């Protein structure tokens, strides 16, 4: 499932744009990174930093974005588009992980830029790339960088050693890691659901889902967007069943709102159900199958969609509640 990287829309934070680097950024990038206080904290940056290296590196970043190998971006002020630092992710496709790196020019220190930029890129990556975790490291004497990682949700996992070009050899580092559980909003039941008395277990959350099956016998999956719990995972379309609503009525409503299609209750065939405990509630999810609908399936909420062959469903990372349904559906189809 290659990620689309032919175009990269800049990521916004409150104060900055995280955008692809441009040739005209080279002079400012060189001024900022050719500073011992900055370069000494970066493993892959030499010191002194040659001016022509800035041009070469910026040119290489565009190709790596196109290939989906790495996303090295400028941190630019919204007000004047001036570069104040860089933030990036380098992917390791073998284990669905990526390494986070960032730096901010010394003249811009003390403004909370690093956590704002690194946090934004990390959340975007887990929601839009095929990743399960993001790693990072910080020199043992770089308490500022370690504090940034802890602030945005990373966990410290140990220590190690890493070669630093600027220091001419290996240096001790602290290792960090973050996954969806560390960075996603807490998965919670609707606020409208009444709280149970203490000691009476978890609330039951009823969610209806559907396996839409097209004429080629492919099944539709939708990707949970950034900002939602479990962002970046693929799931069967559907949603919460409101009070006084049947699962079928909920699906008819959700499919219209999310995919722009009209489905009749007669075309929803009950197939299986999932029962899964989360920290604050218990999920009960009936799964229906549907082969007939009116209209063209279109992402109404900007979510990514994929029509998947039954035998490939297991290739897609899914929430724990959906996973048991995959084998049943694959065998049935």
pTM: 0.81
Provide the percentage of residues in the chain whose pLDDT is more than 90: 77
- The predicted-structure confidence for 114-147, as pLDDT tens digits, reads as follows 999 999 999 999 999 999 999 999 999 999 999 9
In a domain, 214, yes or no: yes
For residues 204-221, give the mean pLDDT.
95
pLDDT exceeds cutoff 90 at 65: yes
Same domain (yes/no): 174, 232:
no
For residues 201-223, give the mean pLDDT.
93
For residues 169-182, give the mean pLDDT.
94
In a domain, 186, yes or no: no
Provide the percentage of residues in the chain whose pLDDT is more than 70: 93
Instruction: Please state, in angstroms and rounded to a whole number, the distance separating the CA atoms of residues 4 and 241.
Output: 33
Same domain (yes/no): 33, 168:
yes
Same domain (yes/no): 261, 158:
no
pLDDT exceeds cutoff 90 at 203: no
Structure tokens at 199: 């000691």
In a domain, 308, yes or no: yes
Structurally, the chain folds into a number of domains equal to: 2
For residues 140-158, give the mean pLDDT.
96
For residues 185-195, give the mean pLDDT.
45
Nearest to 319 by CA among 277, 281, 260: 277
Same domain (yes/no): 40, 82:
yes
Kind and range of the H or E run holding 86: strand 83-92
Identify the weakest region by mean pLDDT among 5-19, 52-66, 187-201, 234-248.
187-201
Q: In what order do the strands lie in the sheet with 169-179?
A: 11-12, 16-20, 70-77, 83-92, 97-104, 133-139, 169-179, 155-164
Instruction: Please state, in angstroms and rounded to a whole number, the distance separating the CA atoms of residues 19 and 62.
Output: 11
Look up the domain containing 125 and give its range: 11-181
More confident residue, 2 or 272: 272
- The predicted-structure confidence for 69-106, as pLDDT tens digits, reads as follows 999 999 999 999 999 999 999 998 777 999 999 999 99
Nearest to 232 by CA among 3, 65, 67, 72: 3
Q: What pairing do the DSSP bridges indicate for beta strands 133-139 and 97-104?
A: parallel
What pLDDT, on a 0 to 100 scale, did the predictor assign at position 2? Answer: 38
């Amino acid at each position: 499932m290659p990620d689309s990287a032919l175009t990269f829309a800049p990521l916004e934070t409150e104060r900055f744009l995280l955008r692809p680097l441009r040739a005209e950024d080279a002079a400012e990038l060189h001024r900022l990174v050719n500073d011992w206080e900055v370069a000494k904290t970066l493993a892959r940056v030499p010191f002194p930093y040659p001016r022509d290296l800035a041009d070469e590196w910026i040119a290489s970043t565009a190709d790596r974005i196109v290939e989906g190998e790495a996303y090295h971006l400028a941190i630019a002020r919204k007000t004047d588009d001036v570069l104040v630092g860089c933030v990036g992710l380098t992917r390791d496709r073998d284990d669905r992980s990526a390494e986070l790196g960032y730096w901010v020019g010394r003249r811009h220190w003390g403004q909370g830029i690093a956590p704002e930029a690194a946090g934004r890129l990390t959340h975007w990556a887990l929601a839009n790339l095929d990743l399960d975790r993001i790693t990072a490291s910080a020199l043992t004497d770089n308490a500022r960088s370690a504090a940034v990682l802890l602030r945005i949700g990373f966990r410290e996992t140990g220590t190690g050693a890493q070669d630093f070009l600027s220091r001419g050899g290996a240096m001790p580092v602290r290792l960090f890691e973050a996954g969806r559980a560390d960075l996603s909003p807490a998965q919670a039941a609707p606020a409208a659901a009444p709280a149970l008395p203490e000691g009476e277990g978890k609330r039951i959350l009823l969610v209806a889902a559907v396996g839409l099956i097209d004429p080629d016998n492919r099944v539709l999956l939708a990707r949970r967007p950034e900002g939602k719990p479990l962002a970046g995972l693929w799931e069967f379309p559907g949603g919460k069943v409101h009070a006084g609503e049947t699962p079928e009525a909920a699906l008819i409503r959700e499919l219209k709102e999310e995919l722009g299609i009209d489905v009749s209750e007669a075309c929803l065939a009950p197939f299986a159900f999932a029962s899964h405990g989360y920290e604050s509630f218990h999920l009960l999810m009936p799964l229906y199958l549907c082969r007939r609908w009116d209209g063209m399936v279109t992402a109404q909420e900007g979510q990514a969609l994929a029509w998947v062959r039954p035998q490939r469903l297991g290739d897609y990372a899914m929430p724990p509640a959906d996973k048991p349904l995959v084998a049943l559906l694959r065998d049935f189809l």
